[in-house]
């Protein structure tokens, strides 16, 4: 389901939330069949989360939070073979109504499941990206990214990973970029091996989105430092705030993103 813009689509979004909460079982909550493969379960969870995520509702809609939480517990249950089996054979199968204790809990962070999913997805992703950058360097001299720049980029990427694993603070800033990243990776995996040009396009875009994540987080970090100084009446100059990245790392990331955007435009034209 695409992002919502028109009044009619906004109405459909509210209806979508209500349908999730009234679903008779976890399979209907996710909109999947009992024999769905693990990747289908994961994809269904991501797709529905993009629509009913609480941040998508302005003004806020409490039932959106409930539906998002219900999606999370349905995914946690059906993505694990053991819990899925227990759910299937139980005489009292879980439904939207029997999940009330979860939905109405005091959990103030309904993003836990989504964050764990993306931590798994990003695991080892930089090595794939590094190999792709080297391949681009060999085939496109005009897009050359130096080894020193790659090392700086890796430092920034690892700092971002550490933040994701230790805090929910910055994850929320890039959550929709991560959803987009998942969709791009899914499309890449489903492509035919003969779709060489489309594979190149997707690989460049995936690499660009990945490198944009620490840049976005760094900008948010600088803004928070500035607001903290204002709050504490600490009149530092804005340029003194480096965020979570130093200037070399940030410059290397922006250089790489700029080169990838050039490559993205070139492959789109062709």
Q: Using CA atoms, how far apart are residues 29 and 1, in angstroms rounded to an integer?
A: 15
**Is residue 197 situated within a structural domain?**
yes
Residues 132 and 255 both lie in one domain: yes
Under DSSP, the state recorded for 109 is -
Averaged pLDDT score across all residues of the chain: 78
Q: What are the pLDDT digits (tens) for 40-62?
A: 999 999 999 988 888 888 788 88
- CATH number, domain with residue 75: 1.10.287.110
Number of domains the chain is built from? 2
> Can you tell me which residue has the tokens 């791009």?
184
Give the mean pLDDT of 4-20.
80
Final residue in a domain of this structure, among 89, 105, 121: 105
Q: How far is CA 17 from the centre of its chain?
A: 20
| Choice among 15-19, 33-37, 87-91, 108-112 with the minimum mean pLDDT | 108-112
Final residue in a domain of this structure, among 71, 105, 139: 105
Per-residue confidence band for 269, with pLDDT thresholds at 50, 70 and 90: low
Residues 176 and 70 both lie in one domain: no
Per-residue confidence band for 100, with pLDDT thresholds at 50, 70 and 90: very low
| Choice among 85-99, 135-149, 241-255 with the minimum mean pLDDT | 85-99
Per-residue confidence band for 263, with pLDDT thresholds at 50, 70 and 90: confident
**Is residue 25 situated within a structural domain?**
yes
Per-residue confidence band for 17, with pLDDT thresholds at 50, 70 and 90: very high
Residues 210 and 77 both lie in one domain: no
| Choice among 58-67, 109-118, 221-230 with the minimum mean pLDDT | 109-118
Q: Using CA atoms, how far apart are residues 21 and 197, in angstroms rounded to an integer?
A: 42
**From the CB of residue 186, how many other CB atoms can be counted at a distance below 10 Å?**
14
Contact 216, 172 (CB under 8 A): no
Q: Which domain holds residue 60?
A: 7-105
Contact 25, 95 (CB under 8 A): yes
Sign of CA dihedral 248, 136, 268, 43: negative
Query: For the chain, percent helix, then strand, then coil, each to nearest 5?
Result: 75, 0, 25
Q: Cα separations (Å) of 218 from 170, 247, 255?
A: 9, 11, 15
CA-nearest of 61, 27, 31, 178 to 113 is 178
Residue of higher predicted confidence among 240 and 220: 220
**Is residue 58 situated within a structural domain?**
yes
**From the CB of residue 131, how many other CB atoms can be counted at a distance below 10 Å?**
10
Cβ-proximal residues to 59 (8 Å cutoff; 6+ apart), any chain: none
| Choice among 107-116, 119-128, 146-155, 209-218 with the minimum mean pLDDT | 107-116
Residues 94 and 176 both lie in one domain: no
Q: What are the pLDDT digits (tens) for 77-87?
A: 898 887 888 78
Quote the pTM value. Answer: 0.67
**Is residue 82 situated within a structural domain?**
yes
CA-nearest of 107, 28, 132 to 71 is 28
Q: Using CA atoms, how far apart are residues 13 and 15, in angstroms rounded to an integer?
A: 5
Residues 242 and 186 both lie in one domain: yes
Contact 109, 54 (CB under 8 A): no
Q: What are the pLDDT digits (tens) for 177-235?
A: 888 888 888 888 888 877 888 888 888 898 899 889 889 988 888 888 877 777 776 55
Residues 100 and 19 both lie in one domain: yes
**Is residue 2 situated within a structural domain?**
no
211, 216, 175, 127: CA torsion to nearest 10: 20
**Is residue 46 situated within a structural domain?**
yes
**Is residue 1 situated within a structural domain?**
no
Residues 168 and 247 both lie in one domain: yes
**From the CB of residue 8, how many other CB atoms can be counted at a distance below 10 Å?**
9
Residues 183 and 235 both lie in one domain: yes
pLDDT at 3 over 90: no
pLDDT at 95 over 70: no
Contact 75, 30 (CB under 8 A): yes
State the Rg of the chain over Cα.
21
Q: Using CA atoms, how far apart are residues 10 and 13, in angstroms rounded to an integer?
A: 5
Rounded percentage of the chain residues whose pLDDT exceeds 90? 12
Residues 41 and 75 both lie in one domain: yes
Residues 74 and 130 both lie in one domain: no
Final residue in a domain of this structure, among 56, 80, 105: 105
Q: What are the pLDDT digits (tens) for 143-188?
A: 677 888 888 888 887 888 777 777 667 887 888 888 888 888 888 8
Residues 165 and 255 both lie in one domain: yes
Residues 83 and 143 both lie in one domain: no
Contact 136, 263 (CB under 8 A): yes
**Is residue 80 situated within a structural domain?**
yes
Per-residue confidence band for 94, with pLDDT thresholds at 50, 70 and 90: very low
Confidence (pLDDT) at 270:
55
């Amino acid at each position: 389901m695409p992002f919502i813009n028109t009044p009619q689509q906004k109405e459909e979004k509210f209806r979508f939330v209500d349908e999730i909460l009234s679903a008779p079982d976890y399979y209907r909550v996710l909109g999947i069949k009992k024999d769905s493969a693990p990747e289908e379960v994961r994809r269904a969870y991501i797709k529905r989360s993009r629509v009913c995520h609480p941040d998508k509702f302005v003004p806020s809609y409490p039932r959106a939070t409930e539906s998002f939480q219900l999606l999370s517990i349905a995914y946690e249950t059906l993505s694990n073979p053991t819990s899925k089996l227990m759910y299937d054979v139980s005489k009292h199968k879980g439904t939207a109504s029997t999940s009330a204790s979860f939905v109405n809990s005091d959990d103030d962070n309904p993003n836990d499941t989504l964050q764990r999913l993306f931590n798994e997805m990003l695991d080892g992703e930089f090595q794939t990206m590094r190999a792709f950058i080297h391949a681009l360097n060999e085939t496109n001299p005009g897009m050359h990214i130096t080894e020193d720049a790659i090392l700086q980029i890796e430092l920034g990427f690892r700092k971002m990973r550490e933040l994701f694993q230790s805090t929910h603070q910055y994850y929320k800033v890039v959550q929709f970029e991560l959803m987009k990243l998942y969709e791009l990776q899914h499309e890449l995996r489903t492509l035919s091996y003969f779709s060489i040009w489309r594979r190149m396009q997707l690989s460049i875009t995936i690499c660009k989105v990945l490198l944009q994540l620490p840049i976005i987080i760094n900008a948010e970090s600088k803004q928070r430092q500035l607001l903290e100084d204002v709050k504490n009446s600490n009149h530092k100059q804005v340029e003194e705030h480096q965020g979570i990245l130093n200037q070399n790392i940030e410059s290397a990331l922006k250089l790489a993103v700029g080169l990838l955007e050039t490559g993205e435009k070139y492959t789109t034209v062709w």
